[in-house]
Amino acid sequence: MFRTFVTRMAAGAVGVQMCAAGVAVSDKQLSKKPDWYQKDVLALEESIKRLGRHGFNTSPLAVNEAHETLKKYAHISNVEVHWRIARALAEKSFFSKCPQEKLRLLHEVRNKYYQLMDLNNDGDACMTTE
């Protein structure tokens, strides 16, 4: 029970910090941006919170929405964004009924983790095996 509590607290703290770093604009600056930009920033913030707060998501709809939002930012070389995309893919594979789809999603997760290791040369944000 203690381990679950500590894990959830750590995930929540990291999620909130990532939201602050990912958005990187104040509410005042955001209100000056176009509507489509505001919606994208808020959707990204919500996706990061959703994937960071919970130990495991029980809603396939929430995971799909988070994955669709994060896919828009896959071109950015940010370890945290790619880590969230990999987590969304792994959770999507859990909800998938088709074995071929599960296998395809898990291969994407593996490839995403290899990308993460390449992005993170200093080894701070993702685990590497020696």
pLDDT tens by residue, 68-109: 888 888 888 878 788 888 888 988 898 889 999 999 999 999
Question: In total, how many domains does the chain have?
Answer: 1
Domain that holds residue 55: 2-119
Distance CA 104, CA 110 (A): 10
Residue 109 lies in a domain: yes
Residue 125 lies in a domain: no
Residue 88 lies in a domain: yes
Residue 129 lies in a domain: no
Task: Give pLDDT, residue 105.
Answer: 93
Residue 36 lies in a domain: yes
Task: Give pLDDT, residue 16.
Answer: 45
Residue 124 lies in a domain: no
Residue 70 lies in a domain: yes
Q: How many residues does the chain have?
A: 130
